[in-house]
Structure 1
């Protein structure tokens, strides 16, 4: 499979032209495993983290099939449907479809909460090739008879584990029940909890299972560390980290929406360009903050777990966990924002004494020891060394050799089709 190229798949000419223009010739592992079976009409169950190229893994086969169809979509219907848990991820997916369509006449429509409903209804009234939606707004339009789903022949559930976390499983099941019975389906998830496994069993028919990394593992070259310190001291330490010369762009994770706002406000007070992104902000405010982060107007984006899903910004050098997540699996999603496309990344967790139990849970699923076994009697102001002897994660410090950076096969190679998810 090492010699496989995108040309080997026999994709439609507009797609191969688009791939060539963007410099993509070698598929990532998830693309190499998933594209061929989908071109043959098989269902797919994909286990893949963000940053592995999975959006292209389902977008390219769908586009190939759509380009082989005659005529236009029936008004008020869609030919393909991609369900995403968050607005940010849905936007990224649409960008990927448009990029890989190569200028071909493939219509796309975003159906999201927090944006103009009227514009979405007008687009759907003409019929669309690819509908990318969050479940809540889509059901709203279905119930108002603004769109029918019975002509959907290709469907993708992306980040199914996040669908579960956000309470979308029942809405997703209802949406699936409306689709064409002879559809081709794909489900992608970073982890496979029991409820997602059950959803996959009911949703997919004799699927091809593809997996590019063990569940709940870090798939990129990320130098991880943790520092034990009292909660009130986190603010000063965070400002010190993100103002370091080695920090190009940093995402800081807070546990709550209010906490994210407070952290961003404190960074601004400390003279650091920052903004927050979370579910209570209007879509235009979230997009403005994300655009400012992409273009370097601000160096730091503070986010909650849900809001950060789907964010794929180049050059994120650091991830800082200001608060540890309640669910240890979210740690993997968080730090996957850095170290993408083969680049190095640094992840630092600021751990208050009452968060040590959460950190131990993170260590169990990642296989990384971030703090020594006992925290009693440790000096809270000192950065903690991991068991392999790396020093504190000083953004200005010279890095040691890559002995403890994970370098699993799931990350993208140069010249491979990265994706938004």
Structure 2
């Protein structure tokens, strides 16, 4: 296969620019996506963070911009200010390396709105990088015309859905030209997102990039069953076992982050916190202080897993498992980067074991450990315990009672009767389960027909 970075459809200046920034060998997502966008076809791409998807859409989008036309020609949306800022920096790097005279605007909340409008009126941007809310605002107020937009990219589409910005994207998509090329990039494609994309993309090209190494081999990935212990006390134990260069602790809500930060501070640790409820100015100041080494511990929501690039993280702790299991990958991916070793620890209780099973089916492997004598030591895998109990736990109370009675001395043939009773009970449950599956499939088919009509 020819190197897509040398494709003659790409502007020679862009090809030279890629060499200047040492982009020589394309990743799999770039090889597959760039030709589709160069052919002006809609595309839905499922690829994880770090797969190279940014340049997969950035190259063809910049390639299409007519520098003589002083109107917005491409829009790239991303759900957080931090991601928008990162995308803006990457775009400017490629533009400058290629020597292209493309006007790029960075539109996000938390920055001076009037100043942004003044800049746009002075020189209409040709490429816009924006958060959905600010973009909606400027289009609604007619600050930005959409008449010449040829490319519309929704980056981190699942995160856009989770953060409640899909209605803003809907507002923009309704106003685009019919021949505008739409591309959506996402780590996962939930049903609600798939239905939304179908509304604006008729038979898009679908590209799924498998990620064989879900967790970097440089990361030691441990699991601790905290039992009846208080979660925050186990966390403090874990954090003070050694001296992490920088520990990043993830919680699911802003409230939990605030409570944890206060608890750890009271224990004498110097702790920073990051979540969506903190002002933009305070967040930037905190990040500067973290980078300067003023904090050894950072407590954060998933904003830091996908929206921020915090360097030097040697330890990641999942204080609780995220609602969206895929976020575990993003969280753990904050450590063990660039070939450096890293350590991740996830705290769970017995009732969360089924979620660990799901994560293992996704390819995330854990080492089971416990805190003993001031150190993390291996412990027996919970599967070995579960396998001994699985037969009994799969029975209802009535059948379990019959099995327990069978342990007493009985007349010959009694055990066979028990065995038959269990088999019959199992067969009946299987019938009910199959019936429920058939009914569920029928309901799903009916809903799909209704959606298509």
| Pair in the same fold by TM > 0.5 | yes
Match of 1:305 in 2: 302
The question of whether the paired residues in 1 share the 8 Å contact of 2:48 and 2:211 is answered with no
How far has the Cα of 1:97 moved from its partner?
0.6
Aligned counterpart, 1:331: 328
Q: Deviations over 1:217-260 (max 9, x none)?
A: 82543432211226865445545655677744432211111222
Say if 1:327 and 1:80 are closer, same or farther in 2 by CA, change over 3 A: same
Partner of 1:118: 114
2:318 counterpart (317, 321, 324):
321
**Cα 1:61–1:342 shift into 2, 3 Å:** farther
Q: Alignment partner for residue 276 of structure 1, among 273, 277, 280?
A: 273
| Partner of residue 285, structure 1 | 282
Separation of aligned partners in 2, 1:9 and 1:248? 47
Q: Does 1:180 align with 2:182?
A: no
Partners of 2:289 and 2:26 in 1: how far apart?
31
Q: In the alignment, is residue 80 of structure 1 matched against residue 74 of structure 2?
A: yes
Q: State the alpha-carbon separation in 1 of the partners of residues 344 and 239 from structure 2.
A: 12
> For the structure 1 residues 230 and 9, does the alpha-carbon distance in structure 2 shift closer, same or farther, using more than 3 Å as the test?
farther
Unpaired runs of 5+ in structure 1?
A: 390-421
Aligned-partner SS, 2:139: helix
- The answer to whether the aligner puts 1:93 opposite 2:93 as a matched pair is no
SS in 1 for 2:273: strand
| 8 Å Cα contact 1:323/1:349 also seen in 2 | yes
Q: How does 1:4-403 map to 2 (within 5 A)?
A: 4=3, 6-8=5-7, 11-66=10-65, 69-74=66-71, 78-101=72-95, 102=97, 103-125=99-121, 126-213=123-210, 218=214, 220-221=216-217, 222-229=219-226, 234-235=231-232, 237-239=234-236, 241-242=238-239, 247-270=244-267, 272-341=269-338, 343-353=340-350, 355-356=352-353, 358-366=355-363, 368=365, 385=379, 387=381
Distance (whole Å) between structure 2 residues aligned to residue 338 and residue 145 of structure 1: 43
CA–CA separation in structure 1 for the residues paired with 2:57 and 2:105:
17
Cα gap change, 1:154 to 1:344, in 2 (>3 Å) = farther
Over the residues paired in the alignment, what is the CA RMSD in angstroms? 3.3
User: What is the distance in 1 between the residues matched to 2:336 and 2:207?
Assistant: 23
Q: Deviations over 1:94-150 (max 9, x none)?
A: 111111112422222222222211122123222112211221222122222222223
Change beyond 3 A, Cα 1:145–1:331:
same
Q: 1:224/1:13 Cα in 2 relative to 1: closer, same or farther (>3 Å)?
A: same
- CA distance in 2 between counterparts of 1:53 and 1:40 reads 20
Deviation at 1:357, TM superposition (A): 5.1
Can you give the 5+ residue segments of structure 2 that lack an aligned partner in the other structure? 384-453
Equivalent residue number for residue 403 of structure 1: none
Cα 1:356–1:6 shift into 2, 3 Å: same
Distance (Å, rounded) in 2 between the aligned partners of 1:275 and 1:231: 28
Conserved? CA contact 2:21–2:94, under 8 Å? no
Q: Which has the larger radius of gyration?
A: 2
Distance 2:31 2:339 in 1: 17
* Distance in 1 separating the partners of 2:187 and 2:142: 33
Q: Deviations over 1:14-48 (max 9, x none)?
A: 43333223222111211121112222322221110
Q: Count residues with an aligned counterpart.
A: 377
8 Å Cα contact 1:51-1:341 kept in structure 2: no
Contact 2:273 2:298 in 1 (8 A): yes
Distance 1:170 1:367, change over 3 A: same
Whether the aligned pair in 1 keeps the contact of 2:226 and 2:234 (CA below 8 Å) is no
Q: CA deviation at 1:8?
A: 4.4
- 1:159 shift after superposition: 1.2
Deviation at 1:190, TM superposition (A): 0.8
CA contact (8 A) 1:228 1:382 kept: no
Structure 2 length-normalised TM: 0.73
Greater relative contact order: 1 or 2 (C-alpha under 8 angstroms, separation 6 or more)? 1
Give TM-score, length-normalised by structure 1: 0.78
